[in-house]
Structures are given as C-alpha cells and as structure tokens.
Chain A
Amino acid sequence: MKWLHAKLLMLLRRWLPTPDSRKLAVVAPDEELARFIFERRYVDQSGRAKQGAFLPELYKGRLETSVCRIRDVAVVRIWNLGKTVRPDKVLYARADFPHSAAISKSLKCLSTPEPNFSEHADLIGWPHGSDQKMRHKAIAAHLAGVATVSLVPQL
C-alpha cells in the first residue's frame, strides 16, 4: 500500500497547484494593472502619481511591487479589494497603468492570487546592485508618467 500512497501523493502534487507553481503564471502584456496607494504623499498636488508609489519592497528575498489585475473586474470590487487588502492602512487612491509599460522597462508581472484576492499580482524583475535605487526610480518615473490616478470614492 505504501507504493500506492506514494503514487497518489505524486499525482496530487502534480495536479494541485502549489503556491510556487501559481506564481509562475505570467500576466498577459495587454492587461491593465492598478497599484493601490495608501500614502497621500504618493499623489502630487495636481493628482498625479509620484515615483514612490511604484518603488518595490523586499518580500521573502525578492524585490516586488504588489498590483491588482483589473481587466474585466467590476469597479466596485477593485475599490473593495484596495480597501481590504491592507487592514492596517487606509486606501487613498489607485494608479492604473498598462502592463506593457512595465514590460518595456524589463519588469514582469506574475499572477500571485491570495485568498479572496484572485486578482493579486506582483511586478518583479527589479534591478539589483549598489546602484539599484536610481534604476528603480528610473522605472518608477516611467510608470508614474503613464499612470492614471483615481482617488478613492467617498461613499
């Protein structure tokens, strides 16, 4: 029976997606992404996104920027996701931008669904090295330049 148990386990592992295998799903280049903004200071006085809104953070050894895939997602759901994804923060705005803008700067967007947040994705591929900050800012400058900011609707 041990061999049967081992065989079944092997098949299950192959069929059921593990967290790592889910992360391998690359988001289509023509998708639109949204970056939730929790800091008022990441939107300038004219209502445009600043570079800081897109800068990556180190998470489990990888530099990444969390985003939300918004293609075919109802606006109400997008805002609800933004309001609930960080219980410790208050949502201020969201910045929408095309995935192609990130691809043009050698970033890649991987689908990383989370419980109750299947649209979650991560921008990865941020440069590493002693000069990484200026290179991160250069990419963020591009994303900030093409992003469209919407302030959170007041209900």
Chain B
Amino acid sequence: MSALALSRQPIGFGFSRSGSSPEAREVQKLTRQAFVQIKTQSRVSVALNDLDSLQAELFSSNDPLVFKAPFDLARRFLFALPTDLAIPELSLDPDGEIAFDWAAERGRNFSVSLGSTGRLSFAGKLGPEKCIYGMDQFDEVVAREIVDAVKALASNT
C-alpha cells in the first residue's frame, strides 16, 4: 500500500499572492479548490486501494462473501467521508457487510458496517462508560452522528 506524499506548503504556493484584482482572486480560489480536491482524492485513494485489496483477498480465497459484499457502495461511502476525518481501516463482517473501523487508545473504537441495501449499522466504545450505537441509510451523505463519533475518538477525550 502506498500513499501519495503531498506538499505541506500553503495553498497558492508558486502563484502570485499580491494580486487583488477579481481575476487574481478567482485564480487563487480555483487553485485552492484544486489543491483540496487533490488532497481529498489522495487520502481516499489509500482506503480505495485497501478496498481493492480486500476484494482481491476474497477472490483469491474463493470466499462466497465476495459476491455479497457491497464494494461499489463502499467506494461511494469513502468518497462521502468528510475530508478532515481519519481514513478508516477496512474489514469484512461474517455476514458479508463491509466494516469501516477506527480505533484509539485505551480500547476505544468505532465501526460502521455497510450492508448491500445501503444500511449503515454503527457502534463504538468512546470512553470507559460511553458507548453509542445506531443505524442509518447511506444516501451519499455520512450521518452527523457517525462523523461526530469518529471526531470524538480522535479528540482523545
């Protein structure tokens, strides 16, 4: 697995920063959008490669779940994740749903399972006494509850 190394230089590097005309500002805006898009795609590409690997592993092991697992939906789910969210690890549940897994210190974890109908089942242990779980229907947008849970995991609270 490989990741595209991106420059951490500020957006707009190499372009004129002194321009204040509408045209200059428009160029700057378009440049910023292009950088954000590239950054997003490279982050997602790591997970997409992992998804391809998962599919290949199932094929090579003649696992019948490969025909049940919703790989196309999973790709759309990955693209729908907010750009500031950590990229999940992937696994396959015993029932053929694709799981997106996040983990943190002290046994904290959160996972979303995606079924072939687009049903999302999620649950997590966000603290010693804090557990959450729920369901949602994936419709190209990732539910706020899921985003908040992953952010809570990352915030180390």
On whether the beta carbons of A145 and B95 are closer than 8 Å, the reply is no
Is A41 close to B, CB under 8 A? yes
Give the nearest-CB partner of A142 in chain B: B125
> B107 contacts A52, CB within 8 Å?
no
- Is A134 a contact of B133 with CB atoms below 8 Å? yes
Binds A, one of B6-14, B41-49, B108-116: B108-116
Distance between A143 CB and nearest chain B CB, rounded to angstroms: 9
Would you call A140 an interface residue if the criterion is a C-beta within 8 Å of the partner chain's C-beta atoms? yes
Give A44 to B119 CA distance when docked, in angstroms.
24
How many residues in B have their beta carbons less than 8 Å from beta carbons of A? 30
B123 to chain A, nearest CB (A): 4
Q: Is the CB of A55 within 8 A of B94?
A: yes
Complex interface: chain B residues within 8 A of A137 (CB): 111, 113, 121-123, 133
Smallest CB separation, A85 vs chain B (Å): 16
Other-chain contact of A133, B108, B121, B131 (Cβ < 8 Å): B121
Residues of B within 8 A of A39 (CB): 91-92
Proximity string of chain A (36-57) to chain B, C-beta cutoff 8 Å, 1 when within and 0 when not: 0001011011101011100111
How many residues in A have their beta carbons less than 8 Å from beta carbons of B?
25
Closest to A144 in B: B109
Q: Are A55 and B123 neighbours in the complex by a CB distance under 8 Å?
A: no
Q: Is the CB of B94 within 8 A of A138?
A: no
- Kindly report which residue of chain A lies nearest to residue B119, judged by CB atoms: A133
Assess the B133–A52 pair: CB atoms within 8 A.
no
* Contact between A51 and B97, CB atoms less than 8 A apart: no
Q: Is the CB of A50 within 8 A of B113?
A: no
Instruction: Name the B residues within 8 Å of A135 (CB-CB).
Output: 123, 133
Would you list the 9 A-B pairs with minimal beta carbon distance, nearest first? Answer: A145-B107, A137-B123, A138-B133, A41-B91, A133-B121, A134-B121, A138-B123, A145-B125, A141-B125
Residue of B nearest to A44 (CB): B103
Contact of B91 among A42, A134, A142, A145 (CB under 8 A): A42
Query: In the bound complex, do residue B89 and residue A55 qualify as a contact, i.e. CB atoms below 8 Å apart?
Result: no
| Closest-CB distance, B3 to chain A (whole angstroms) | 13
* Chain B stretch 103-144: residues in CB contact (< 8 A) with chain A: 103, 107-111, 113, 115, 119, 121-125, 131-135
Q: How far is the CB of B131 from chain A (nearest CB, A)?
A: 6
Could you list 14 further interchain pairs (A-B, Cβ under 8 angstroms) beyond the known A50-B103, A52-B101?
A39-B91, A41-B54, A51-B109, A51-B123, A52-B94, A131-B135, A133-B115, A134-B122, A134-B134, A138-B133, A140-B111, A141-B109, A145-B109, A145-B125
Residues of B within 8 A of A57 (CB): 94-95
User: With the chains together, A138 CA to B109 CA distance in Å?
Assistant: 10
Contacts of A134 in B (CB 8 A): 121-123, 133-135
The verdict on A146 contacting chain B, using a C-beta distance below 8 Å, is: yes
Q: Quick one: which of A104-145 are within 8 Å of B by CB?
A: 131, 133-135, 137-138, 140-142, 144-145
